[in-house]
Chains A and B, each alone.
Chain A
Amino acid sequence: MNRHRDLPGLILALASAVAVLTALGMVFLYAPREATMGDVQRIFYFHVSSAWVGFFAFFVTFLAGILYLIRGERRWDILALSSVEVGLTFITMAVITGSLWARPVWGTYWTWEPRLTISAVQLLIYIAYGMLRRAVEGPERQARFAAVYGIVAFVTVPLSWFSIRWWRTIHPDILTGGGEMTLTPRMVQTLLVSLAAFTLLYVTLLRQRIRLERFADALAALKMTK
């Protein structure tokens, strides 16, 4: 495997960079200043996009886990593991940027309200995925355990999604227009471009992470033949 020959990977990386820079340009130059919160509201675009990618990544792990249990093929285990790692990065981003947004708006970095509490639990559950996975002996047992764990852990995604509708919360709901923020058409366009850019970035990073795991497998197989 030669990383210099990965032309599709290079094209994807360039496309992601252009998309993220376009989104960034729209956040600061195209989207209007929000009336109540001012410039700090501009955190919203990348905060929501990183949360979306985190949720999507955990959904991919959930699906890959089911496919691994049905077919027992290593590629589904690789996809699940890679997606958790990328998803965890984006969920961490969402939690930290959310805290930085909350400080000037709510007057505190953190409050134990339903959405934030579930996000914290979700973060810990997916951090544990990697740790527990390594604790299991034998590649097949490890993959089977990880598949079941990834399926069960996914319950935190719908829980987090619906927490702002099911329970009393101060977290804004952008879909129903709840909370203190109303989106103008330019804000919606900026959000949609950010969501697309982050999704493309996720695909690029996931692809690289999968290639890394395959490389490690090929190397391990080569060592076994020596």
Chain B
Amino acid sequence: MPVYLVAAYAVFWGLTFVLVFSIWARQRRLERELEALKKAQPSDQ
């Protein structure tokens, strides 16, 4: 199989993974922020 063909499909999977991972990582960060906010709430009241 030509190396260019393998490389092209690797680029597809790689970039799709980067986008999915980036969205997931940002979502996790926001969830952690939300958790921290929830934990801080009882001490505020």
Which residues on A are within 8 Å of B, measured CB to CB? 3, 24, 38-40, 42-43, 46-47, 50, 85-86, 89, 92-93, 96-97, 100-101, 103-104, 201, 205, 208-209, 212, 215-216, 219, 222-223, 226
Complex contacts, A215 vs chain B, CB 8 Å: 27, 30
B37→A223 contact, CB < 8 A = yes
Chain B positions within 8 Å of A42 at CB level: 5
Complex Cα gap A214–B8 (Å)? 34
Instruction: Point out residues on B near A: beta carbons under 8 Å.
Output: 1-2, 4-5, 7-9, 11-12, 15-16, 18-20, 23, 26-27, 30-31, 33-34, 37, 40, 44
Residue in chain B with minimal CB distance to A40: B2
A43 contacts B27, CB within 8 Å?
no
Residues of chain A lying within 8 A (CB to CB) of residue B23: 205, 208-209, 212
Hey, which chain B residues are within 8 Å of A222, CB to CB? 34, 37
CA distance in complex: A96, B11 (Å)? 7
The 30 sampled A-B contact pairs (Cβ below 8 Å) are A3-B27, A3-B31, A43-B4, A43-B5, A43-B8, A46-B8, A46-B9, A46-B12, A89-B15, A89-B16, A89-B19, A93-B11, A93-B15, A96-B8, A97-B11, A97-B12, A100-B7, A100-B8, A101-B8, A103-B4, A104-B4, A212-B26, A212-B27, A212-B30, A215-B27, A216-B26, A219-B30, A219-B37, A223-B37, A226-B44
Give chain A's interface secondary structure class: helix
- On whether the beta carbons of B8 and A47 are closer than 8 Å, the reply is yes
CB < 8 Å neighbour of B12 from A3, A93, A104, A219: A93
- B residues near A104, Cβ cutoff 8 Å: 2, 4
The 10 closest A-B pairs by CB, nearest first: A43-B8, A97-B8, A100-B8, A100-B4, A89-B19, A40-B2, A96-B11, A93-B15, A100-B7, A215-B30
Chain B contacts for A93, CB-based, 8 A: 11-12, 15
